[in-house]
């Protein structure tokens, strides 16, 4: 690794006035350093180098700016560098200002950096604070919902950024402010086919919002009508009885034969978990039962191959077909669990997770064997056909 004097020499080259070829060599070298843990640890101890590097995000050379942003993406992926980047380098105001520019070339890289920096609660609080001071969460949501806002960037990673921000109560409160109509604007993105990143970010945001059970009744009401947007990506082409169809929300009735479910298992799992959160209150459980959610989840469970998603679905189905909790325990999020019971529940969860991992590995092996068999059969058929043609 570099000595202090060598690092200081590097810093001297990281200026806007330095020749482009020299700067390019230095940024390329630092990019290599940022690609592994030891290099990140070294850069962590050199905030002056990072400050100098960050100034080059306004360099006239596109190649140098691109290197700088890739370095920042690598560094922001390392949690130990978050405070250095936010407090010492002070990246947030400049990044947010550039993000607002509809012509800015590197907005996608900025979205990735902000998403990385907001993963953990401590830095997430700082990101939200500076965001509110510099731009405002309202403007961020506006940009996210305006497709084509930046013709040079897709901005899909604003989805995971919103999801990270809503781990904080203040961000969730904004999203569910009844006078702002924010959460309603996000709902259509649960079926956004152009990007699983954007789609998953929105569903993660909705899931986080559902942790606040006081809003469940409003989310399920006609004012928001969240339920169809959570169920449609899980619904398939299976034919339901007339009675079952008639009990469903209108958007889920008599779906076409080519209806497909969301292809991403992580997204399907988040959707099921969001529905499960909505069953924490008596009102939520009753609404999901009244809206006939069970047939959709029954068919979904029959179709689902991922063991983790299937396990989450089973928990939801148990609630939908089970009896109501006894009086005083209607709100499952308010139930106080004795410490000894909590320990046993955690042990049971760990055991269940272990069993699911084994089951998933077994299924993957079976699928690989099946694929090998298909390939082998296809090769044999090709050989037989070739042999027949030669004869």
CATH of the domain at 176: 1.25.10.10
Query: What are the angstrom distances between the C-alpha of 53 and each of 36, 56, 64, 234?
Result: 18, 5, 10, 46
Same domain, 49 and 99: no
Domain limit, last residue, from 24, 54, 89 = 89
Is residue 377 in a domain?
A: no
Name the residue among 311, 323, 388, 318 with its Cα closest to residue 351.
311
pTM, to two decimals: 0.86
| 241 and 189 co-located in one domain | no
* pLDDT tens digits for range 37-93: 999 999 999 999 999 999 999 999 999 999 999 999 999 999 999 999 999 999 999
In a domain, 26, yes or no: yes
- How far apart CA 127 and CA 118 sit, in angstroms, is 6
Model pLDDT for residues 177-203, shown as the tens digit of each residue: 999 889 999 999 999 999 999 999 999
> What is the model's pLDDT at position 336?
58
Last residue of a domain, one of 162, 181, 211: 211
Domain tally, the chain? 3
Domain check: are 121 and 150 in the same one? yes
In which domain, by residue range, is 269 found? 231-327
CA–CA separation, 373 and 379 (whole Å):
10
Together in a domain, 278 and 289: yes
Q: What is the DSSP string of 160-201?
A: HHHHHHTTSHHHHHHHT-TTT--HHHHGGGGG-TT-HHHHHH
In a domain, 385, yes or no: no
Q: Where are the alpha helices (DSSP H) in 264-306?
A: 265-278, 282-290, 293-303
Query: Quick one: pLDDT at residue 361?
Result: 78
362 pLDDT band, cuts 50/70/90, is confident
Q: Identify whether 219 is part of a domain.
A: no
- Confidence (pLDDT) at 328: 59
Domain check: are 39 and 98 in the same one? no
Is residue 96 located within the same domain as residue 207?
Answer: yes
Secondary structure of residue 49 in the 3-state scheme:
helix
* pLDDT > 90 in the chain, percent: 79
Q: For position 356, what pLDDT does the model report?
A: 77
Lowest mean pLDDT among 166-170, 340-344, 358-362, 364-368: 340-344
pLDDT at 349 > cutoff 90: no
Mean pLDDT of 312-320: 94
Q: Which of 293, 285, 215, 283 is nearest to 248 (CA)?
A: 293
- Residue 164 and residue 104 share a domain: yes
119 and 192, same domain (yes or no):
yes
- Give the total residue count for the chain: 391
**pLDDT score, position 192:** 97
Q: Distance of CA 167 to CAs 11, 177, 196, Å?
A: 37, 16, 20
Any domain includes 95: yes
What six digits make up the tokens of 369?
A: 């064997």
Question: Angle formed by the axes of helices 339-390 and 307-321, to 10°?
Answer: 130
Query: What pLDDT band is residue 327 in, cutting at 50, 70 and 90?
Result: low
Are residues 273 and 290 both part of a single domain? yes
Same domain, 55 and 110: no
Q: Which range among 102-116, 229-243, 267-281, 325-339 shows the weakest confidence by mean pLDDT?
A: 325-339
Q: Please report whether residue 373 resides in a domain.
A: no
Residue with tokens 């209806």: 259
- 344: pLDDT strictly greater than 70: no
Residue 125 included in any domain:
yes
Confidence check: pLDDT of 337 > 70:
no
3-state class of 246 per DSSP? helix
Residue 391 has pLDDT above 50, yes or no: no
User: 202 and 120: one domain?
Assistant: yes
Does 154 share its domain with 114?
yes
Domain boundary among 178, 211, 244: 211
Residue 282, in any domain of the structure:
yes
- What does pLDDT average to over the chain? 91
The pLDDT-based confidence of 390 (bands split at 50, 70, 90) is very low
- Across the range 19-23, mean pLDDT stands at 95
Residue from 175, 168, 224, 230 nearest 199 by CA:
230
Supply the pLDDT for residue 376: 73
Do 179 and 185 contact (CB within 8 A), yes or no? Answer: no
């Amino acid at each position: 690794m570099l000595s202090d004097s060598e690092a200081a020499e590097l810093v001297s080259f990281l200026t806007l006035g330095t020749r482009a070829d020299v700067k390019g060599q230095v940024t390329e070298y630092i990019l290599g350093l940022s690609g592994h843990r030891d290099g990140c640890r070294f850069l962590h101890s050199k905030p002056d180098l990072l400050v100098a590097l960050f100034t080059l995000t306004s360099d006239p050379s596109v190649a140098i700016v691109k290197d700088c942003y890739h370095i920042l993406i690598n560094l922001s992926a390392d949690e130990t560098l978050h405070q250095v980047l936010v407090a010492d380098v002070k990246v947030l105001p400049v990044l947010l200002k550039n993000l607002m520019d509809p012509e800015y070339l590197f907005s996608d890289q900025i979205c990735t950096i902000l998403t990385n920096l907001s993963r953990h609660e401590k830095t997430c609080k700082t990101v939200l604070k500076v965001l509110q001071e510099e731009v405002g969460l309202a403007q961020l949501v506006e940009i996210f919902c305006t497709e084509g806002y930046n013709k040079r960037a897709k901005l899909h990673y604003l989805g995971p950024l919103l999801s990270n921000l809503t781990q904080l109560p203040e961000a969730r409160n904004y999203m569910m402010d009844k006078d702002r109509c924010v959460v309603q604007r996000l709902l259509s993105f649960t079926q956004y086919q152009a990007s699983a990143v954007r789609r998953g970010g929105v569903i993660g945001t909705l899931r986080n919002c559902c942790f606040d059970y006081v809003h469940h009744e409003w989310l399920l009401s006609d004012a928001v009508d969240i339920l169809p947007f959570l169920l449609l990506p899980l619904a398939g082409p299976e034919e339901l009885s007339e009675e079952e169809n008639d009990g469903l929300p209108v958007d889920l009735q008599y779906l076409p034969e080519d209806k497909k479910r969301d292809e991403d298992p992580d997204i399907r799992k988040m959707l099921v978990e969001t529905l499960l959160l909505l069953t924490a209150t008596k009102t939520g459980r009753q609404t999901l039962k009244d809206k006939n959610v069970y047939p959709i989840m029954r068919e979904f469970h029959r179709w689902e191959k991922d063991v983790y998603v299937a396990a989450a679905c089973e928990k939801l189905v148990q609630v939908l077909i089970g009896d109501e909790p006894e009086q005083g325990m209607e709100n499952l999020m308010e139930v106080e669990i004795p410490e000894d019971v909590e320990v046993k529940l955690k042990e049971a969860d760990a055991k269940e997770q272990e069993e699911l991992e084994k089951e998933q590995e077994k299924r993957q092996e079976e699928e690989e064997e099946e694929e090998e068999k298909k390939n082998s059969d296809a090769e044999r058929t090709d050989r037989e056909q070739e042999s027949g043609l030669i004869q």
